[in-house]
Amino acid sequence: MTQTKSGGRILCFGEMLLRFSPNQNELLLQSPALTARPGGAEANVAVALARFGAPAAMATVLPDNALGQAARDEVRRYGVDTAPIVFAPGRMGLYFLTPGAVRRPSEVLYDRAGSAFVERVADAFNWDALLDGYEWLHVSGVTPATGPNGSRAAVELVEAAVRKGVRVSYDGNFRGKLWEQWAGDPPATLGKMLAGAEIAFADDRDFALVLKTKFEDADPNARRRLAAAAAFKAFPRLQRIACTLRVQESVADQALSAVMLTRGPDDTVIETCAEALHMTGVVDRVGGGDAFASGVLFGLWSGWSDQEALDFGLAAAGLKHSVPGDFNLFTAAEVRAAMGDGGFDIRR
């Protein structure tokens, strides 16, 4: 990896959740046991960035009770700055994950309506003050999907970042189940967030939704190039688009590759690709997209080339599939080691 001067502080903003999962290969409540782990898309990115060595902070609203404090403490133990977190009355957002097995896909059940974040996030922060001292802001499409308060907060925060010259990293993370629960406007809201983004972790489906169009081509690579060209035209601030490409033989046997599309001169699209990782015996894919985003963002923050950042992001995503829970807990050195040719012997 090219070693260059690293950038400034990175703020991640979104709802933290507690995730409950049954024992391995069981259905939800097939037996009484459930394992609780903290998570949430933006918290996943904050933890991964901190583990890589970047100065990452988490801004969210947590309930002022033992659950909220435990969630705060969990990200703090991995090096995330939790000073921006606000505690308020309310409940903790939850989600229940039933992991898939063989030909049965994983299933997510949300229980986050009325959480402290959902109810209070729109008025919990002074956006300009919150952004002071940060070079990057990382947000995702999950926050606006939580309801009117989340939509207002996400748009206002991104607009404040643009005013203050803070670079915006946006992860599409479309959550149809959440949008269906209220009368929101995903294309308009997500479009306002994309308008402020410098990098978007999104694919042709995300841009088709926001731009209210279709990218029709049998070749998925061609669809992504068409979507990138349309996105660069629609969003002048946008410089890079990155996404993973997944092929599944079963829940546990998958191949993951990645592509980055960069704005070139004269409206051209420059494509950078990372070769597929073939993964057998996947342990937990939840958080894999966040691991990818954090790896690419870390590479850009570090001043690496697009190819270096993309390769690092894909390697980070691959490692995430080997551990349970939402968080990717590997260091930058461990990710770089996974990119090498050292094989799978025990390291002694």
- For 304-319, write each residue's pLDDT tens digit: 999 999 999 999 999 9
Number of H helices and E strands in the chain, helices first, is: 13, 14
Residues in the chain: 348
User: Which structural domains are found in the chain, ordered by start?
Assistant: 9-240 (3.40.1190.20)
Confidence of residue 101 (pLDDT cuts 50, 70, 90): confident
Q: Is the pLDDT of residue 3 over 50?
A: no
Asked whether the beta carbons of 28 and 96 are under 8 A apart, the reply is: yes
Q: What is the dihedral of CA 73, 75, 80, 86, to 10 degrees?
A: -60
For residues 325-333, average pLDDT: 95
**184-193 pLDDT tens trace:** 999 999 999 9
DSSP 8-class letter at 36: E
Q: Is the dihedral of CA 229, 274, 138, 108 positive or negative?
A: positive
Question: Long-range CB contacts (< 8 A, 24+ apart) of 263-270?
Answer: 263/232, 263/238, 263/239, 267/229, 267/232, 267/233, 269/225, 269/228, 269/229, 269/232, 270/306
**How far from the centroid of its chain's Cα atoms is residue 333's Cα?**
21
For the cut 60, the answer to whether the pLDDT of residue 299 exceeds it is yes
Contact assessment for residue 90 and residue 241, using Cβ atoms and an 8 Å cutoff: no
Residue 4 pLDDT:
47
Tens digits of per-residue pLDDT, 243-287?
999 988 888 888 999 999 999 998 799 999 999 999 988 888 888
The model's pLDDT over 204-241, given as tens digits with 9 standing for 90+, comes to: 999 999 999 999 888 888 999 999 999 999 999 999 99
Has residue 22 got a pLDDT over 90? yes
pLDDT at res. 100? 86
Strand ranges for 175-331 from DSSP E: 199-201, 240-248, 253-263, 269-280
CA dihedral sign of residues 310, 311, 315, 316: negative
Name the amino acid, one letter, at 277.
Answer: L
At residue 58, φ and ψ (nearest 5 deg) are: -120, 130
The pTM (predicted TM-score) of the whole model is 0.94
User: Does residue 104 carry a pLDDT above 50?
Assistant: yes
CB 232 within 8 A of CB 249: no
The per-residue pLDDT for range 144-158, each reduced to its tens digit, is 999 999 999 999 999
